[in-house]
Structure 1
């Protein structure tokens, strides 16, 4: 009887330790790097992420099609608009945002590939336990494959590989993440954007990680 109870306890412990699909913190601030398989895009960005209000601010710099670019955008999914902000010239472009907001999360239908330690498990503070998941999702322009790595504790994003026939593989790495919004004003359009009129889209923009979702 004791052996049976011990077996049940051990089984429950194993089930409890199995990684589960998760959702990243609703409020985050941090940095990310993006690079594409085609080498058309390489970029670094500061991001501010608000899943509660469905708002994202991205301040990017990088190279796209052998041309350097600087981009400061505020995506307001609830309002269906995107602001391109130029703080130097104090100008602002307002455009329609047709993409839907998708929170940073591991989808329920994803498959666990592995649980590993980044760094070392030899001593305290020398490594981070992470889970890597893979799957496919349906987008407006077709199917997409992804492989996402998040921390076991907190579900903080570490890296994502994302593939569509149009973009090829795009690799995004997250770093210096902070839970919470360090500057709430970042997610509010500047005063000089208030009079901006809604403009029509004028061609393809450089891809960033969040626009892919």
Structure 2
């Protein structure tokens, strides 16, 4: 009997370990404080841009320094989005000017929706040795945005739920892909999420015309 217990116990331990490791991935929420860079491009080639970002889900704030091309016209964008106050600041440090506009969209944290479907799990890089790859999960589903429904695919790291890529499909632009890189958990400079002093006297303005479909368009 003792020999049987000694034989069964290791098998149970192995089964329990494999069971824990083989748990099905679940939808997750990204870290509430992130700093990093991203690129954005659309299938119809109207938009191609790079940006640095600072993201604060706790206070619902996003800062973007973005440059790129939209409809064959180059643009530079420095925006501070303050969702709690419903305002957006467009900042120009060179001219020391600031435009303050209504922010009509609600804040949506970086997260995999709870009703998302898992497409699969993969290793970016190599799984041959420790530290040579990153385990990621890819999810898909539909979102209701701007009075329409769009398809999405989102890839995040298995550990930490750090965003890697997000694809959103719309009838106007086709697929829009956002790729995140150089992500750091935390705020490199909290002052980036506070309007500069020359914005103190800025008055609310009404939006005019079509703006580039940038990263923040989907928040």
- For the pair 1:98 / 2:110, whether they are aligned, the reply is no
Structure 2 distance, partners of 1:19, 1:61, is 35
TM-score (normalised: structure 2): 0.92
Question: In the alignment, does 2:31 pair up with 1:25?
Answer: yes
Distance in 1, matches of 2:54 and 2:105, equals 18
Aligned to 1:128: 134
Deviations 1:160-210 (A, max 9, x none): 110122332101100000000010000000000000000000111111223
SS in 1 for 2:198: helix
Q: Distance in 1 between matches of 2:128 and 2:53?
A: 33
Aligned length: 212
Residue 162 in 1 paired to residue 173 in 2? no
Q: How does 1:31-180 map to 2 (within 5 A)?
A: 31-180=37-186
Q: TM-score, normalised by structure 1?
A: 0.94
Where do 5+ consecutive residues of structure 2 fail to align? none
* Partner SS, residue 73 of structure 1: strand
Distance apart, 1:8 and its partner CA: 7.3
The change in CA–CA distance for 1:189 and 1:35 in structure 2 (over 3 A counts) is same
Distance 1:13 1:200 in 2: 54
Match of 1:9 in 2: 16
> 1:71-91 CA deviation, whole Å, 9 max, x = no partner?
000000000000000000000
| Secondary structure of the corresponding residue to residue 211 of structure 1 | helix
Larger radius of gyration: 2
| Cα distance in structure 1, aligned partners of 2:185 and 2:42 | 27
1:183 to 189, 198, 201: 189
**Shift of residue 20 of structure 1?**
1.1
Q: What displacement does 1:11 show?
A: 7.5
Shift of the 115–70 alpha-carbon distance from structure 1 to 2, 3 Å rule, reads same
Q: Equivalent residue of 1:56, what SS?
A: strand
Q: 1:118 to 1:12 in 2, by over 3 A?
A: closer
Q: Which residue pairs with 2:206 in the alignment? A: 200
Cα distance in structure 2, aligned partners of 1:14 and 1:32: 31
